[in-house]
Chain A
Amino acid sequence: MRRRVPHTAKRAPGGRFSAGRRRTLALGLGCGCAACGFGGAARARLLDYELAASEIATNSWAVLGATEWFDETNGGNIVNAAFIEVPDGVVVIDTGPSRRYGEAFRALIERTVPGKPILRVYNTHHHPDHFLGNQAFDPATIASSPGVIANIVAEGDAFADNMYRLLGDWMRGTAPVAPTLALESAAEEVGGRGFTLHHLAGHTSADLVVRDEETGVLYAGDLAFLYRAPTTPHADIPVWRDALASLAALDRSTILPGHGPDDRSGESLEQTGDWLDWLDGTLRDAVDEGLTMNEAMLQPIPDRFAALGVARTEFERSVVHLYPALEDALFPRVETIER
């Protein structure tokens, strides 16, 4: 197992309880009325993501989220974010699902790399768990592909609404902030470090992959998942397959997937491709047989995906995302007689 750098030594009062104990307390206070006087305040203080930095390459850290679905226990911390110390400052990849996460993430960066300015924040794509922490960072430093920015502007509010519904108080004060810098170039230098920018698509209509030219780490965003079923609300599977092929061809030391542990072997690209092929084939067969969406959702998931978190949930979601286009493609057109 990888060494983790917890950075929890200077926790505020209340830190003497274990995570599990604090959660129990929070539940107890939330449910019982005896503690109404201070319950609200105590509960607010106890909503703590407990972010930990895990060093995945020299002076490069990942903050690994749970391979789960959003709920009020994980607060939306189901996503990977990362930061890199460069000669003159710090570069950040994605900002998490909420303002609270963004602030905790920023504090973690400042504890890990004290006294260095955050020069650049990249958003890999417009899904809410990757950019709703933007509020904690200087807007002038936040950058992405033009397509990612357009998607955030178009869908950010609706995403935030739904995240409040799913996560409740974890989202307090969160509002979508779009990146101010639209990057179209294939590379940029930040604080004395070169980064290659791959403007890809497939998981969404715009996916930015960042490669650190010094360490060779590939920050793949959600084009790569590992031990967590890929999500498809904006997916174009053939385009995604092409993106995976181009990532596989890149020189890299390790891959940080959008969800799941960092990956030296390239397993995340293979597993994501394998899942997408199986998903596409299974749904095509189901549409061809005339199964309803509900019947398709009951199809068996092969044993080789047993290690993937939330596989059944994501498969059911994918049926809803992908079925209508497959029906349009596979059901034969009939000539109607209009009267």
Chain B
Amino acid sequence: MHTPRSTRPSTTVAAPRPETLSRVVTFALLVVLALASALGAAPAVARELPADPLRSVMWKSMAERFLPDGEIVFDERVRVLAPLSAEDQVNVPVTVDATALDDVTEIVAFADLNPIPLVLRARPEGAAPFLGFRLKLQQSSPVHVGVRTGDGTWHVAGVIIDAAGGGCTAPAMAHGTSDWMSTLGETRAQVRRGVDGEARMSLRIRHPMDTGLASGIPVFYLEELTVRDADGETLMALSLYEPVSENPTLTLKPRVGTGSGTLEVSTRDTEGNVFAFPLEVPAAGDS
């Protein structure tokens, strides 16, 4: 960066009058700004945007919106499992496994061609960077997942999912019944230990997850879900958005050691309803 100092007259006997100085400084700043914009961006914030292997027409805009700052690399260590074709456009299963990466601070998933692309953000503070979820697709779309590591780098992978479409503008199944409010927040959940002793938590919460795009049905969705250990330390914090499927069904891997214990799960929706529950974790070898 140039500094205004370099343009300052240094050989004059008399110091310039304050207003002259300020005018010179302003001019110099303008020159710098003009130069910077001519080059596209100031060098300090410039980053190389790698070409998208999925060739999404929305890639540049998606990266700017959902993968701010930091370097972006496409990385095979981020595994994204999804079907080639959506059998049910309101329930498209996606599993993200970034356990091959160390020091993951955030996971973000977006469906480029959805009217509302952002699906969810996750901060696995005390959980493996692993996440199962389901989303709604409005049409065939690339789905990208960005996994951020402690150094600020976004490790990205994605898949293209073919779909008949209409998933975001269809009313939730709940609206086909008159008493859906009575089961709102009804939750089913379990924690199982895998063969390696790792805890795997599944939960399914009754919620219409209304996108606001179905005629006459305002936006209404579960927007926050936090899993804490018995000491209140956050293990996983999730921000959910409109494209998450009705009755959100999530699979997480909280890091809870090998003993038995209790997790505290808390969720909140856009109307401020809070649903919280304790969830027992069996000791490794018990399940």
Q: Which residues of A contact B251 (CB under 8 A)?
A: 290-292
Of the residues A316, A331, A334, contact of B277 by C-beta under 8 Å = A334
Interface residues of B in 176-219 (CB under 8 A from A): 185-192, 194, 200-204
**Distance (Å) between the CB of A94 and the closest chain B CB?**
23
Are A320 and B93 interface neighbours, CB within 8 A? yes
| Interface flag for B273 (CB, 8 Å) | yes
| Given A294-B81, A334-B279: A324 in contact with B188 (beta carbons within 8 A) | no
In whole angstroms, how far apart are the Cα atoms of A321 and B277 in the complex? Answer: 29
The residue in chain A whose Cβ has the minimal distance to the Cβ of B205 is A336
- Binary interface profile of B, 66-92, with partner A (CB < 8 Å = 1, else 0)? 000000000000000111000110010
Are B277 and A335 interface neighbours, CB within 8 A? yes
Q: Which residues of A contact B83 (CB under 8 A)?
A: 294, 297, 316, 320
| Given A317-B87, A320-B87: A327 in contact with B249 (beta carbons within 8 A) | yes
Of the residues B188, B192, B273, B274, contact of A334 by C-beta under 8 Å = B188
Q: Which residues of A contact B190 (CB under 8 A)?
A: 290, 331-332
| Interface flag for A295 (CB, 8 Å) | yes
| Given A324-B247, A339-B276: A292 in contact with B93 (beta carbons within 8 A) | yes
| Interface flag for A242 (CB, 8 Å) | no
- Binary interface profile of A, 313-334, with partner B (CB < 8 Å = 1, else 0)? 0001101110010011001111
Of the residues B88, B185, B189, contact of A332 by C-beta under 8 Å = B189
Are A290 and B192 interface neighbours, CB within 8 A? yes
A selection of 13 A-B contacts at a CB cut-off of 8 Å is A161-B164, A289-B200, A290-B191, A290-B201, A291-B251, A292-B132, A292-B251, A297-B81, A320-B83, A320-B88, A328-B204, A335-B277, A337-B276
Interface extent on B, as a size class?
A: 35 or more
B-side binding surface: helix, strand, loop or mixed?
Answer: strand
| Interface flag for B275 (CB, 8 Å) | yes
Q: Other than the known A289-B200, A298-B81, A317-B87, what 19 A-B pairs have Cβ atoms closer than 8 Å?
A: A162-B164, A289-B192, A292-B132, A293-B95, A293-B132, A294-B82, A294-B95, A295-B81, A295-B132, A320-B88, A320-B91, A324-B249, A327-B202, A331-B202, A332-B188, A333-B187, A334-B187, A338-B185, A339-B276
**Distance (Å) between the CB of B278 and the closest chain A CB?**
8
Tally chain A residues at the interface, Cβ within 8 Å. Answer: 31
| Interface flag for B94 (CB, 8 Å) | yes
Q: Which residues of B contact A291 (CB under 8 A)?
A: 251
In whole angstroms, how far apart are the Cα atoms of A285 and B275 in the complex? Answer: 29
Interface residues of A in 297-321 (CB under 8 A from B): 297-298, 316-317, 319-321
**Distance (Å) between the CB of A325 and the closest chain B CB?**
11
Q: Which residues of A contact B202 (CB under 8 A)?
A: 290, 327, 331
Are B87 and A327 interface neighbours, CB within 8 A? no
| Given A293-B134, A294-B81, A320-B87: A338 in contact with B274 (beta carbons within 8 A) | yes
In whole angstroms, how far apart are the Cα atoms of A317 and B92 in the complex? Answer: 11
Residues of A bordering B, CB below 8 Å? 161-162, 165, 233, 288-295, 297-298, 316-317, 319-321, 324, 327-328, 331-339
A-B interface pairs (CB < 8 A), number: 93
Of the residues A233, A317, A321, A333, contact of B186 by C-beta under 8 Å = A333
Q: Which residues of A contact B81 (CB under 8 A)?
A: 292, 294-295, 297-298
Interface centre among B93, B134, B186, B274 (most CB of A within 10 A): B93
The residue in chain A whose Cβ has the minimal distance to the Cβ of B83 is A316
Residues of B bordering A, CB below 8 Å? 81-83, 87-88, 91, 93-95, 132, 134, 164, 185-192, 194, 200-204, 247, 249, 251, 273-279
Are A336 and B132 interface neighbours, CB within 8 A? no
Q: Which residues of B contact A233 (CB under 8 A)?
A: 87
**Distance (Å) between the CB of A131 and the closest chain B CB?**
19
The 4 closest A-B pairs by CB, nearest first: A292-B132, A331-B188, A293-B93, A294-B81
Q: Which residues of A contact B201 (CB under 8 A)?
A: 290
**Distance (Å) between the CB of A289 and the closest chain B CB?**
6
**Distance (Å) between the CB of A132 and the closest chain B CB?**
16
**Distance (Å) between the CB of A205 and the closest chain B CB?**
15
In whole angstroms, how far apart are the Cα atoms of A150 and B247 in the complex? Answer: 28
Of the residues B200, B247, B273, B274, contact of A290 by C-beta under 8 Å = B200
Q: Which residues of B contact A328 (CB under 8 A)?
A: 188, 204
In whole angstroms, how far apart are the Cα atoms of A337 and B274 in the complex? Answer: 8
In whole angstroms, how far apart are the Cα atoms of A233 and B88 in the complex? Answer: 10
In whole angstroms, how far apart are the Cα atoms of A317 and B134 in the complex? Answer: 15
Q: Which residues of B contact A331 (CB under 8 A)?
A: 188-190, 202-204
Interface centre among B188, B200, B203 (most CB of A within 10 A): B188
Are B275 and A295 interface neighbours, CB within 8 A? no
Q: Which residues of B contact A289 (CB under 8 A)?
A: 192, 194, 200
Q: Which residues of B contact A320 (CB under 8 A)?
A: 83, 87-88, 91, 93
The residue in chain A whose Cβ has the minimal distance to the Cβ of B82 is A294
The residue in chain B whose Cβ has the minimal distance to the Cβ of A293 is B93
Q: Which residues of A contact B95 (CB under 8 A)?
A: 292-295
The residue in chain B whose Cβ has the minimal distance to the Cβ of A316 is B83
**Distance (Å) between the CB of B17 and the closest chain A CB?**
65
Q: Which residues of A contact B194 (CB under 8 A)?
A: 289
Q: Which residues of A contact B279 (CB under 8 A)?
A: 334
Are A334 and B189 interface neighbours, CB within 8 A? yes
**Distance (Å) between the CB of A299 and the closest chain B CB?**
13
